Chains A and B, each alone.
Chain A
Amino acid sequence: MNRIIFLCSILAITVVSLSCKKGKEEKEVPSDNPHGNLAIKFHYAFAQTPGDFKLHQEVVHPQTGDTITFTNFKFYISNFKLKKADGTWWVHPESYYLADISDGDNSVFTIKDVPAGSYTAMEYVMGVDSTANVTGAQTGALSMAHGMFWDWLSGYIMVKAEGKSPQSVTKFFSFHLGGFAGEDNIVTVKQTNFNGQELKIADKQTAQISMRVNLATLWHDAPPLKDASAIHAPGPLAKKFATGFYQHGIDFSSID
């Protein structure tokens, strides 16, 4: 009888540990397919000014001639997709990143669990898609704690550019750019083919690409600071600044 109880206990403990472990393991590993990460690094520039552009650095705009010093610059980039060699797209879920120039070398968005393979193009969205603007309280990059959501007119501030300029009537400028509906919509889908190169994602490795962010393009098609130094709502002026930046101010630069 003692032997039976002893055997029973050993067997039971084994069964318990085996059966319980199995359930846990299944939860932790999402799939057996090889996958790696893609880091997207943002390098900031101001027109042809040499070196990495930083906050509190005084520059002169080549077009408007305005003297400009940025004290804050953030923008949303979202909805990353990667085009596989076979032409199908891999879609990154919950793909929202708030880029901040003050992060300097750490201005990096890492996309995790990308299926290993070769990719020929990347699609992304400048701004925050309309669904995320009407969904209510969210987390991560879309948290209200970042100060990037208008309290009086629901919607994300998709680009926040603030600073000083002697040409501004107030000596300051503050552009809060947003708008996700109708003619105020600034959300822009962009694509890069990596300049004809292939992006390779290897199992358990992190690949990196660099993107160039040129703040001078805010004024690509927008009035100089003596005429416009504050925008705090969606509208035609917000669209001018945003379009200049979205169309001309952000581009793929290299696979690192």
Chain B
Amino acid sequence: MKLLPANFGILVIVACSLLLVIIGCKEQNSAPIQPTPFTLEVPSHFPNPIYQTERNPFTREGFLLGKKIFHDTRLSRTQTISCASCHRQLHAFADGNQSVSTGIEGKTGKRNAPAIFNMAWNPYFMWDGGVNHIEVMPLAPLLNDTEMGETVVSILQKLRSDTSYVRMFNDAFHRDTIDDQQFFYALAQYMSHIISADSRYDQYIRKEIDFSASEQRGLLLFRQYCASCHTEPLFTDYSLRNNGLYLVYPDSGHYRVSRKPGDIGKFKVPTLRNIAVTDPYMHDGSIASLEDVIAHYTQNIKPHPNLDSLLKQGGKIGFSLTQDEKDDLMNFLLTLTDSNLLKNPVF
């Protein structure tokens, strides 16, 4: 003992204490494993997303939970229909080839299932603009009797009695029980991550590829005739407009929301990204092909009193395009298909 410095004992005590404090506190305060952050990658040529995620921080676990929910048929009343039943990846999460989709018990809806991608940029949702937030958007198809026909209470019961859901909700949100906020948070995370920004158009904009001469002419025609509503780079300005589909609208569109006569027949301008794989077209899926859509805007627009002013310029309804111009425009529209989105196993 005498060989050691006088304060050696104290040094040992201090060192041991510090070590134990660190170990002891660490063990006692050990938090549950934190979910892995999974932030949204905003494409370089996109504006900032609308969806603010401070309340719902994106995580890998939240995304995977949302993915499982999106594809789970058990969540419908009859356990037969999932979100993915009518929003199919192969069709850019629209219900390809169906004018209106089939929900539970063979019932059909009234409107064409919209494509789901770039959702975080949407200021509102639904063809008529009735839904104001991405987190409450899934409520409509979940509750609608012709779609999934379920109640929130019943969905929560199903989730709480499923051990794999209990584990996944806990991994993602660390709450005592599963509640509907976490359910909608997870779906919002999954849907927000479905981003379409890698079509040939995007590659052209990023100067990675060249367009053919026809595609280039098509882009110029698009910018001249279409882009004021189908604005780049999201290919919609998110406005509600009447495009003269009918003289008398069986579905009154935005009027149902606003009850203003001037809103009869107004519907959300859909994005044209992936337009080649999301047929049929219009809010009711009444136009089968892209050729027919171009025919609508060149010769079939009906003079509804609420027809958008951009479609009746210079006292004339619709646009005049030669067959060559129509072909060029079509070739450009085909560059908007993001084939990576359609087959990416992440979704």
Give per-residue flags for A184-206: 1 if the beta carbon is below 8 A from chain B beta carbons, else 0. Answer: 00000000000000000000000
A134 at the interface (CB under 8 A from B): yes
Contact A136/B152 with A143-B181, A144-B184, A235-B259 known, Cβ cut-off 8 Å: no
Name the residue of chain A whose CB is nearest to the CB of B51: A136
A23 at the interface (CB under 8 A from B): yes
Shortest CB–CB separation between residue B251 and chain A, in angstroms? Answer: 13
Q: Note all chain A residues with C-beta closer than 8 A to B213.
A: none
Partner-contacting stretch, out of B14-22, B193-201, B203-211, B337-345: B14-22
A143 to B126, CA, bound (A): 21
Which of A137, A139, A147 sits near B151, CB closer than 8 Å?
A147
Give per-residue flags for A110-127: 1 if the beta carbon is below 8 A from chain B beta carbons, else 0. Answer: 000000000000000000
Which of A8, A20, A136, A145 sits near B29, CB closer than 8 Å?
A20
A33 at the interface (CB under 8 A from B): no
Give per-residue flags for B10-47: 1 if the beta carbon is below 8 A from chain A beta carbons, else 0. Answer: 00110011011100110011000000000000000000
Give the number of residues in B that approach A within 8 Å (Cβ atoms): 42
Partner-contacting stretch, out of A11-19, A44-52, A56-64, A92-100: A11-19
Partner-contacting stretch, out of A149-157, A167-175, A208-216, A241-249: A149-157
Q: Note all chain B residues with C-beta closer than 8 A to A134.
A: 132-133
Q: Note all chain B residues with C-beta closer than 8 A to A135.
A: 55, 133
Contact A154/B16 with A20-B24, A145-B156 known, Cβ cut-off 8 Å: no
Which of B25, B130, B183 sits near A20, CB closer than 8 Å?
B25
Partner-contacting stretch, out of B87-95, B137-145, B285-293, B324-332: B137-145
Give the number of residues in A that approach B within 8 Å (Cβ atoms): 33
Interface residue ranges of A29-67 to B (CB < 8 Å): none
Question: Is the Cβ of A12 less than 8 Å from the Cβ of B17?
Answer: yes
Which of B12, B180, B259 sits near A137, CB closer than 8 Å?
B180
Which of B21, B140, B152 sits near A12, CB closer than 8 Å?
B21
29 of the cross-chain contacts (CB-CB < 8 Å) are: A4-B9, A4-B12, A7-B9, A7-B13, A8-B12, A9-B16, A12-B17, A12-B19, A15-B20, A16-B20, A16-B28, A17-B24, A19-B21, A133-B132, A134-B133, A135-B55, A136-B55, A136-B56, A136-B134, A137-B181, A143-B181, A144-B139, A144-B152, A145-B156, A145-B179, A145-B180, A152-B130, A152-B131, A154-B136
